[in-house]
Structure 1
Amino acid sequence: MEIKGGLTVAALQVLDKHNYVAWTVRVKTYLMAYDLWDLIEGTTGPPSHDEAAFKAWSMKNSTALNVIQISCGPDTFSKIIHISSVKIAWDTLAKKFLRVLEEDNYVDWSVQIKTYLKAHDLWEIIEATTEPPREDDEAAFKAWSKKNSTALHVIKISCGTKTDFEIIQITSAKTAWDMLAEKYAVPTGSDENGNVDYVQYEALREALKSGDWNAVEEFLQRQPDARSAKITFLGQTALHLAVIAGHECIVEKLVDVMSVEDLAILDTDGNTALPYAISAGNYKMTACMIGKNNNLVSIKYSKSSNIPANRAFYNGHTELAGYLYSHTPLEHLTQENAVDGATVCTFAIYSRCLDSALDLIRKCPRLALAQDNEDRSPLYALADMPNAFPSGDGLVFWKRWIYNYCIYIQPAWATKEIRLNIQDVEKSRSDQIKFFGSGMTGASILLNRIPGAALQMQKELQWFKEVESIGIPRCKEYLNTDGLTPRELFTKNHIDLKKEGEKWMKGTATSCTVVGALIVTIMFAAAFTVPGGNNQDTGFPVFLDERLFMLFIISDALSLFSSTTSVVMFLGILTSRYAEDDFLESLPRKMIIGLSTLFFSIAAMMIAFSTALLIMLQGQYSWIIIPVICLASVPVTLFILMQFPLLVDMCMSTYGPGIFDKKMGRWV
């Protein structure tokens, strides 16, 4: 595209995520050469009352917008395809490619913005040590105001919503820049007072985040001190960043080149790199660090005052917690008032790692009554989780009555809602699944897709059991403000659905019992009134030696036995106690067996009927036999069309895959 003067837009660099600053310089130069830059830099909108001026502005706007559009790649062009203002398009691209300021990336953000401002000859506004020109010097003040507005605009559009709100009233780019620097308390360079120049570690930080060990190794060879240096304003070392990024290979190699003392360096929150590995539930990274410096297991979390083993138990990482417990010195757990030891016991009990709790109490019996950091004892934790022991349901009725009604145990927590906070480590632990004791609601859209109230109740129970299995065990005993556990709340919210499921089960079983009883009656009678009758001399059937007769007898017997089995199964459904857990497997299993045997008995009955017809007609009247046999398959086909989908749904719901992917690990 040639605009004028022989200069073509094709000569401009195509914008991508790696060259934004260089692209802006080239495009700005191009637009200034054709007197189009004022459309982007200007603070006023298009003229509204002067038609000639508006037409001229529209022509310039379209030309400048076309320059930007043509110099964008396909992916970038899609972001501005519907924008008709060149200034809005320019700001949209700036928001897309300029790093947004957040609490943990000020250093990287400031480097990028500084580079951008320098490239556009705006940095002098920020680093100026003199006052801006006076208003009486109109030309100088106008030039300064223009640069100041542009620089301030760049800073504001690259800030998040919260930060932008804090500087929204500021009219000076330098004031806004200094305010952000003070807010995030970041040194701007090394000086005689020992301030750290975090900018020099930008390449190392990027390599650690991306998992590029070759780049990390090359940087450490150039600057060996970076192994133990705090490379972020949060006081984090390279090991901290590698653990947070989840790069196991880099963590292992960094541990190899770091000293034992370096592994114990604390960040500004007072944590080593170990707590971040534990929060992620990463066994490999944890074992790697503990293997080199076992003292890490005794360094407490700064905020909760818990040792690493306690945190692992609390998060439900039972295997990792067991490993940390086995490496924690016994004297550390029993020293002073044994708070750490008691906390290990209570957290282990609530996580149902009873072996670890029992082992520790055997080594130090006084821990059974010691208070943990929340003023609970291991004995209290055991009393607070009666369902943790299968023997709890084996008491005789009067003992159960005493336990449930005469002994009152104050719940450990009373919360407004019962929920399991389950964190997805692979999504940076940012996503949470909240499980309420009420489960899915009976009137939900998903449940309405499931045929039959009994199967809906089964699906509800499966959902409850699945989430219960991946949650932290101690949450099963939490009470809400109504004094209900998750299971009790589930029962309360599903009373109506349970009644509907019972009604549906009994209705289906009653109908099928009638059909099964009729088949039993017919096939029992057919066994003694065989086709052709019996020989008057011997009493044996006349067609006893015929092959078809043997097929008749076998199909008759199979139909009789299978229909009898189905009737027994349906009677079992009708006489069931209809407890809540019966809907999970017991009732569906009986229904599956009953329907399967009923299908089989109907098919066998039709085979017996067709065989009897062939025996009696002895190959004659074939024009009658074939249509009659075809018609005999109609009842079987109709019954299968009506009931077979229900059988398939029951089989898939009872014995098919669960609610969640079975390959998934615990989400805690």
Structure 2
Amino acid sequence: MKLYKAAISGEWVIAREILEKYPEGVKASINKRGETALHIAIAANHTHFVEQLIHMNKECLDVKTYTEESGDEGNTAFCYAAISGNVKIAHIMLKKNRDLAMIPGRQNVLPIHIAALHGHGMMVRYLYEETKCILQSTENKGLIDLFVALIDSDMYVSDNQMHEQALELYRLIWEKISLFDDQELSPLMYGNSTGLMFIAAEQGNAQFLATLLSSYPSLAFEVNENGYTIFHIAILHRHMNVFKLIYEIASLKYFVNMKKDKEGNNMLHLAGKLAAPGRQNVVPGAALQLQRDLLLFEEVKEVVLPYQIEEKNERGQTPTDIFIEQHEILIQAGEEWMRNTTNSCMVVATLVATVVFAAAFTIPGGNGQDNGIPIFLNETWFKIFAISDALSLIFSISSILFFLSVIYSRYSIDDFRISLPSKMTLGLLLLFIALVTMMVAFVANFFIIFKHGLSQFAICIPIVAAYLIPVFILQHFRLIGEVIRSTYMPSMFYKRTKNTFF
């Protein structure tokens, strides 16, 4: 019990005293699950404890858990490292024994498989380097289970180096699995909704699907029990990187979009539905979510056959009917969000216009009593003040006009695609410019008034201004960035790739 408590709390000093007195305790089971002190310390992520324990006696490394009830051997401590995802601990252990990565655990599962099941991408990539040679030479049918675990855990990452390693791992295992006979591959690939290709489509794993379809192009026409191909699933889950693969199969795509589900819905009907729950609210604001759905609907409309645009399902609904029905709440929420956002921005724009308008007639330094000409008329800072103040007034009033056009819009469905986002984007950009120029005018005014005797104080003002303006813009950067991408660069989402398969 003392050793167990020391291992789980990471108190190496206490554990060392116990093990020096009882050396056999290093390999002894210390609980009912048959775990050793090393198992416990790894599970608790105590790296220092593990390092010291291995240094004392490395014979504990290959000890497996054992329970008298089942009589089966279980996992090595290294399997526990794979479960925890602690790459540092795994590295320490492998330095002592390189064979640990290939010692299977319970149910004859390798550590790399265990790491994949628990979704530890870093651990999988690390262990891949240790097991690559063995995997290349093995004919083990357990590769299928490993492959399924990798797909389920979605091991792809954005970092280029790790991404290439993940691709290499997929290709290596796929080369081995593709040699199996069709009876083994069929249920694995497309037997039902748990088939790998359908799971990959649901997760947006386009590169795996491209690799798969390059070997078996006919899989593009396979459907699950709901009648969905991978492209139908991609539409429901809003994975356009998967849907774009449909352009790779050229005219064969018409055989794909002829597929219907059990309710008679074609591909465009599915595009009219709301996104799957896990894929909703991926952009800020209901209006932008509605815009994304509109863009998707228009893109799918280009793929389907002309008659399918007005084709009715078994409930007598066209794709447009489904879109309006399922997006009714989102349309209302989008209108409310758009009004609230533009109202808030218009209040700020009005305040800016009021301030800079008043500043235009409150000349810093005053006017000459004889001729009424501003005293600092010929100074550089005064010219900067005058120009920036005038620009701020012009841009703030212009932004108000754009915001007003948004507020008094008719808010039809089609307006959410381009018209309303464009007006709001221009209004926000003009407001940002108005804020920046207003701050420039304020700083220039400060330099005019305090340049004599308080110049050091005046220098602090632009420093503060240079900090506050970017902070404000960054707070709204995602919003305006999403609007610009969706409105003016929709090809980013629907860019058609070529030669991905062949």
Structure 1 spans left out of the alignment, 5+ residues: 1-15, 22-106, 111-185, 187-197, 393-403, 421-435, 440-456, 466-481, 535-540, 612-625, 657-668
Partner of 2:150: 312
Q: CA separation of 1:257/1:569 partners in 2, compared to 1, >3 Å: closer, same or farther?
A: same
**Residue pairs, 1:188-207, within 5 angstroms:** 198=34, 202-203=36-37, 205-206=39-40
Partner of 1:232: 66
Supply the AA of the counterpart residue of 1:242: A
Of 332, 348, 368 in structure 2, the residue corresponding to residue 508 of structure 1 is: 348
Q: Does 1:243 align with 2:68?
A: no
Supply the AA of the counterpart residue of 2:135: N
Structure 2 CA distance for aligned equivalents of residues 373 and 219 of structure 1: 55
Partner of 1:332: 177
Structure 1 CA distance for aligned equivalents of residues 2 and 369 of structure 2: 87
Partner of 1:355: 207
1:332 CA displacement:
2.0
Q: CA separation of 1:251/1:366 partners in 2, compared to 1, >3 Å: closer, same or farther?
A: farther
Of 596, 615, 623 in structure 1, the residue corresponding to residue 436 of structure 2 is: 596
Larger helix share, 1 or 2: 2
1:327 CA displacement:
1.1
Of 108, 112, 125 in structure 2, the residue corresponding to residue 274 of structure 1 is: 112
SS in 1 for 2:270: coil
Q: CA separation of 1:590/1:364 partners in 2, compared to 1, >3 Å: closer, same or farther?
A: same
Partner of 1:563: 389
Q: Does the 8 Å CA contact 2:148/2:196 hold for their aligned counterparts?
A: yes
SS in 2 for 1:231: strand
Residue by residue over 1:395-454, the C-alpha shift from the partner in whole angstroms, topping out at 9 and shown as x without a partner, is xxxxxxxxx999212899997xx348xxxxxxxxxxxxxxx8499xxxxxxxxxxxxxxx
Q: Does the 8 Å CA contact 1:383/1:409 hold for their aligned counterparts?
A: yes
RCO higher in 1 or 2 (8 Å CA, sep ≥ 6)? Answer: 2
TM-score (norm 2): 0.51
Partner of 1:573: 399
Q: Does 1:499 align with 2:321?
A: no
Q: Does the 8 Å CA contact 1:299/1:308 hold for their aligned counterparts?
A: no
Q: Does the 8 Å CA contact 1:309/1:324 hold for their aligned counterparts?
A: no
Q: What's the Cα RMSD here?
A: 5.8
1:561 CA displacement:
1.7
Q: Does the 8 Å CA contact 2:237/2:275 hold for their aligned counterparts?
A: no
Partner of 1:407: 268
Q: Does 1:550 align with 2:409?
A: no
Give the share of equivalent positions with the same residue, in percent: 10
Q: Does the 8 Å CA contact 2:204/2:241 hold for their aligned counterparts?
A: no
Residue by residue over 1:482-507, the C-alpha shift from the partner in whole angstroms, topping out at 9 and shown as x without a partner, is 999x9998876575454223212112
SS in 2 for 1:237: strand
Supply the AA of the counterpart residue of 2:210: L
Of 319, 323, 327 in structure 1, the residue corresponding to residue 168 of structure 2 is: 323
Structure 1 CA distance for aligned equivalents of residues 64 and 147 of structure 2: 26
Structure 1 CA distance for aligned equivalents of residues 142 and 226 of structure 2: 15
Supply the AA of the counterpart residue of 1:311: A
SS in 2 for 1:293: helix
Structure 2 CA distance for aligned equivalents of residues 257 and 18 of structure 1: 27
Supply the AA of the counterpart residue of 2:214: R
SS in 2 for 1:550: coil
Supply the AA of the counterpart residue of 1:202: T
1:597 CA displacement:
1.3
Supply the AA of the counterpart residue of 2:146: P
Partner of 2:216: 364
Q: Does the 8 Å CA contact 1:349/1:357 hold for their aligned counterparts?
A: yes
Structure 2 CA distance for aligned equivalents of residues 218 and 369 of structure 1: 59
Supply the AA of the counterpart residue of 1:244: I
- 249-258 or 319-328, larger mean C-alpha shift: 249-258
Aligned length: 352
Structure 1 CA distance for aligned equivalents of residues 139 and 432 of structure 2: 54
SS in 2 for 1:409: helix
Q: CA separation of 1:215/1:341 partners in 2, compared to 1, >3 Å: closer, same or farther?
A: same
Residue by residue over 1:201-259, the C-alpha shift from the partner in whole angstroms, topping out at 9 and shown as x without a partner, is 735534655553564587665x8xx84x7423474231423322433215534772359
Structure 2 CA distance for aligned equivalents of residues 570 and 405 of structure 1: 48
Structure 2 CA distance for aligned equivalents of residues 248 and 583 of structure 1: 55
Supply the AA of the counterpart residue of 1:243: A
1:336 CA displacement:
0.7
Q: CA separation of 1:292/1:488 partners in 2, compared to 1, >3 Å: closer, same or farther?
A: farther
Q: Does the 8 Å CA contact 1:569/1:593 hold for their aligned counterparts?
A: yes
Structure 1 CA distance for aligned equivalents of residues 431 and 242 of structure 2: 29
Q: Does the 8 Å CA contact 1:563/1:601 hold for their aligned counterparts?
A: yes
**Residue pairs, 1:2-17, within 5 angstroms:** none
Supply the AA of the counterpart residue of 1:361: L
Supply the AA of the counterpart residue of 2:378: M
Structure 2 spans left out of the alignment, 5+ residues: 7-28, 157-162, 245-264, 293-321, 408-415, 479-502
Structure 2 CA distance for aligned equivalents of residues 254 and 371 of structure 1: 49
Structure 2 CA distance for aligned equivalents of residues 254 and 373 of structure 1: 50
Q: Does 1:252 align with 2:94?
A: yes
Supply the AA of the counterpart residue of 1:274: I
1:588 CA displacement:
5.3
TM-score (norm 1): 0.40
1:272 CA displacement:
3.3
1:562 CA displacement:
0.8
1:284 CA displacement:
0.6
Structure 2 CA distance for aligned equivalents of residues 588 and 599 of structure 1: 17
Q: CA separation of 1:331/1:277 partners in 2, compared to 1, >3 Å: closer, same or farther?
A: closer
Partner of 2:134: 292
Q: Does the 8 Å CA contact 2:64/2:74 hold for their aligned counterparts?
A: yes
1:20 CA displacement:
9.1
Q: Does the 8 Å CA contact 1:437/1:490 hold for their aligned counterparts?
A: no
Structure 1 CA distance for aligned equivalents of residues 112 and 273 of structure 2: 29
1:583 CA displacement:
11
Partner of 1:650: 472
Supply the AA of the counterpart residue of 1:240: C
Structure 1 CA distance for aligned equivalents of residues 97 and 328 of structure 2: 49
1:358 CA displacement:
1.9
Q: Looking at CA atoms only, which structure, 1 or 2, has the larger radius of gyration?
A: 1
